[in-house]
């Protein structure tokens, strides 16, 4: 029996509405796993794909490797049909495939799409008629239509093409940017509007239907490129404003003005101002990276994103600024950094999460080591840290009981678990990059 494209689209929508659609999510990380749990909560049987056998085995045991996700949540999802696999051959069983893999920068600060392309090449042979493929990974405008769609067509064993309308044969492709904010409990995931752009109206309609089961508002846009640019705008907006306050912090320190007090006063204005706060540098998978994705793509159009690149440069320089302040603070105590013991508090890129991606702590530790400091760390979320994509720490967590033994304690991540008054009382010197010691007056505190 030959099924028309129109009938196949209608059948897919029916299966979405009745929760019969099989959804595969590629990449069981900080984006993919929470997404899988959202769909599982809506009674979908979800298959999680990942090339990391450790993650696959952990999930299939009903355990979690992300602090904010409990083992109970994984267990409940398993009872609802969730399972994990490294077998990409099972892509053929799915009605919807969602790609949530990293898009980092290479050593030259250029886009590294190797995770996306390798994933696409792995799933392409197994795609079948009528399937919907959605990319969620943050990237530059044009990636979905210029890279992902052609690779899916080239690698498909059946010779299927991207279907651009309801009358076309093939599979459907869309882009919908992730909007995860680890550690943010003020906005429920369901209440975060979901932007969707498809390669054609049918792909957009199907993707909207899928996400409409777990998000309260869908924002359809005219193309994947618009959706891709939307994500970049959101994060570049934050990057630029963080760069602004980071630069102002350096000026205010010279002027002996408390920038945090300035920000608190400015945010009383009920319009035209949004508070951003300075820090030791940017972390996470989006804000430190997204500006460079757009700057790189802009060169294809003979356009220099000077304003965006300047913001990126300011933020990249912050770990170096922190280290110089540590050197100065120690010299005021007649101590040289070389040979001194330094304790870094907080490895995660922001408070109360277990995420090291692009964390400024990693850069600061590396810089301190290069200057001859004996560096150790404490972070309640990391008992040990080995080697990652851009770091090789091979360190274990140091007990806070040892604080008096260190020449300097540097607060990089202001976890709420820390008793800052006690830390200040015990430490010889505290360099605070997060204003975590606000309200504590002591001669051994240096804020930078």
Q: Which long-range contacts link 247-253 to residues 24+ away (Cβ below 8 Å)?
A: 247/314, 248/278, 249/278, 249/448, 250/321, 253/447, 253/448
Nearest to 339, CA basis, from 312, 369, 372, 363: 372
Separation between Cα atoms, residue 121 and residue 388, nearest integer Å: 24
> CA separation (Å) from 374 to 63, 237, 387?
36, 37, 18
DSSP per position, 261-312: HHHHHHTTSSSS-------S---SSSTTTHHHHHHHHHGGGT---HHHHHHH
> CA separation (Å) from 143 to 62, 94, 220, 326, 330?
35, 23, 18, 42, 48
Residues in CB range of 299: below 8 A, 6 or more apart? none
Give the residue carrying structure tokens 């494209």: 5
Nearest to 279, CA basis, from 312, 307, 242: 242
Give yes or no for a contact between 253 and 448, defined as CB atoms under 8 angstroms apart: yes
Separation between Cα atoms, residue 116 and residue 133, nearest integer Å: 13
Buried b (16+ CB within 10 A) or exposed e, 104-131: bbeeebebbbebbeebbebbbebbbebb
The one catalytic residue in 239, 286, 408, 448 is 286
Active site residue 286: yes
Give the residue carrying structure tokens 């049909």: 81
Nearest to 394, CA basis, from 404, 402, 382, 406: 382
Helical H runs in 317-372? 318-332, 360-370
Give yes or no for a contact between 407 and 335, defined as CB atoms under 8 angstroms apart: yes
Residues identified as active-site? 286
């Amino acid at each position: 029996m030959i099924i028309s494209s129109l009938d196949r689209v209608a059948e897919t929508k029916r299966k979405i509405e009745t929760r019969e659609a099989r959804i595969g999510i590629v990449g069981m990380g900080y984006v993919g796993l929470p997404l899988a749990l959202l769909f599982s909560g809506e009674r979908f049987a979800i298959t999680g794909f990942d090339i990391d056998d450790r993650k696959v085995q952990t999930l299939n045991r009903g355990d979690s490797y992300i602090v904010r996700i409990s083992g109970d949540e994984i267990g409940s999802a398993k009872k609802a049909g969730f399972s994990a696999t490294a077998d990409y051959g099972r892509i053929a069983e799915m009605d919807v495939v969602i790609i949530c893999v990293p898009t980092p920068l290479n050593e030259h600060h250029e886009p590294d799409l190797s995770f996306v392309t390798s994933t696409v090449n792995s799933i392409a042979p197994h795609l079948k008629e009528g399937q919907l493929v959605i990319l969620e990974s943050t990237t530059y405008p044009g990636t979905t239509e210029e890279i992902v769609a052609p690779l899916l067509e080239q690698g498909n064993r059946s010779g299927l093409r991207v279907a651009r309308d309801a009358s076309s044969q093939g599979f459907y492709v869309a882009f919908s940017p992730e909007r995860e904010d680890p550690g943010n409990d003020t906005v429920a995931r369901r209440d975060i509007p979901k932007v969707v752009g498809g390669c054609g109206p049918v792909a957009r309609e199907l993707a909207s239907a899928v996400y409409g089961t777990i998000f309260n508002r869908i924002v359809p846009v005219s193309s994947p490129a618009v959706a891709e640019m939307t994500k970049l705008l959101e994060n570049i907006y934050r990057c630029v404003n963080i760069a602004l306050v980071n630069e102002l912090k350096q000026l205010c320190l010279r002027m002996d003005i408390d920038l945090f007090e300035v920000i608190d006063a400015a945010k009383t204005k009920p319009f035209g101002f949004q508070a951003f706060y300075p820090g030791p540098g940017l972390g996470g998978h989006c804000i430190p990276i997204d500006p460079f994705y757009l700057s790189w793509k802009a060169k294809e159009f003979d356009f220099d994103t000077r304003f965006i690149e300047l913001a990126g440069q300011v933020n990249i320089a912050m770990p170096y600024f922190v280290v110089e302040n540590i050197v100065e603070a120690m010299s005021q105590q007649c101590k040289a950094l070389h040979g001194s013991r330094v304790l870094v508090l907080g490895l995660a890129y922001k408070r109360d999460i277990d995420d090291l991606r692009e964390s400024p702590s990693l850069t600061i530790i590396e810089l301190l080591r290069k200057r001859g400091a004996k560096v150790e760390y404490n972070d309640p979320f990391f008992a040990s840290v080995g080697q990652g994509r851009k770091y090789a720490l091979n360190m274990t967590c140091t007990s806070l009981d040892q604080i008096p033994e260190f020449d300097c304690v540097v607060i990089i991540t202001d976890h709420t678990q820390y008793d800052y008054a006690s830390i200040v009382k015990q430490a010889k010197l505290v360099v605070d990059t997060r204003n975590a010691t606000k309200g504590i007056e002591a001669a051994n505190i240096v804020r930078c």
